[in-house]
Amino acid sequence: QTMRDHVVAIAADSFIPTDEFNIPLGEYRDVTGTPFDFRSPTKIGARIEADDDQLKIAAGYDHNYALRDTHGGARGGRGGTRHLGLELASDGRWTRKREADAIASDRTTGRSVEVYTEEPAVHFYSGNYLGNDPMGKGGVPIERRAGFCFEAQHFTNSPNQPAFPSVVLEPGERWETRTVFWFPKPSAAGGLLSSCCCRCSGQNFLSAPSGWPQT
């Protein structure tokens, strides 16, 4: 069981392609018919070695995904925030209000994480440049593609791309954004909820309850 066997879903119809130096271009590319289509749960390793120029440039996945339902500047305006997708009730329980922005699951153990964010993008990185330094826990070497990341954020290279939501914070302005990660128990409806709130131009992640994905 490796990182490649984890099942991933990302609620995005487009991703941000990069140039030959892995710098994001100022365009949105449709994921349809490409190895970047994770709208349905798919193993990370299913298409990571596909004959695709973008995968070759990054040596795997290392791309921003433009999340659905972005408001307030999804195409060049100020901000570009979204509804978090969760609401906290008076009894302290979270309620889903929309689909998760990203989900990852290990079908062998049943463990999963769901990500919800107010940010307009999730960056998916497949650990292409991990190596053996530093060593992992217990001296275990961290090999290439030993892990992966979901990074909730604004689009990389936004200051140089006017088509992207702005990340400029003027003097005296305050910016606050939320991300939540929910790590549900494999056989239970509830889970350990982890949230982060980043002021200025923050990054966000959230995960939710439930038994997705099913075998």
pLDDT digits 0-9 by tens, 22-68? 999 989 999 999 999 999 999 999 999 999 999 999 999 999 999 98
Choice among 26-35, 130-139, 204-213 with the minimum mean pLDDT: 204-213
Indicate the CATH number of 3-199 among 3.40.50.300, 3.40.50.12280, 3.40.50.720, 2.70.98.10: 2.70.98.10
- How far apart (Å, rounded) are the C-alpha atoms in residues 133 and 46? 27
Where is pLDDT greater, at 34 or 209? 34
Q: Using H for helix, E for strand and C for coil, what is the string for 164-194?
A: CCECCCCCCCCCEEEEEEEEECCCCCCEEEE
Domain ranges of the chain: 3-199
Q: Which of 166, 152, 153, 158 is nearest to 79 (CA)?
A: 166
Tokens 């999963």 sit at which residue? 112
Alpha carbons 53 and 69: distance in angstroms, whole number: 28
C-alpha dihedral, 116 to 122 to 124 to 127, nearest 10°: -80
Integer Cα distance of 2 and 44 in angstroms: 10
* Beta strand residue intervals within 46-136, DSSP E: 62-67, 86-88, 94-96, 102-106, 111-117, 121-125
Write out pLDDT tens, residues 82-134. 788 888 888 888 888 888 999 999 988 999 999 999 999 999 999 999 886 77
Reported confidence tier of residue 140, pLDDT bands at 50, 70, 90:
confident
d(CA 5, CA 105): 9
Q: How many CA atoms lie within 13 A of 125 on its CB side?
A: 15
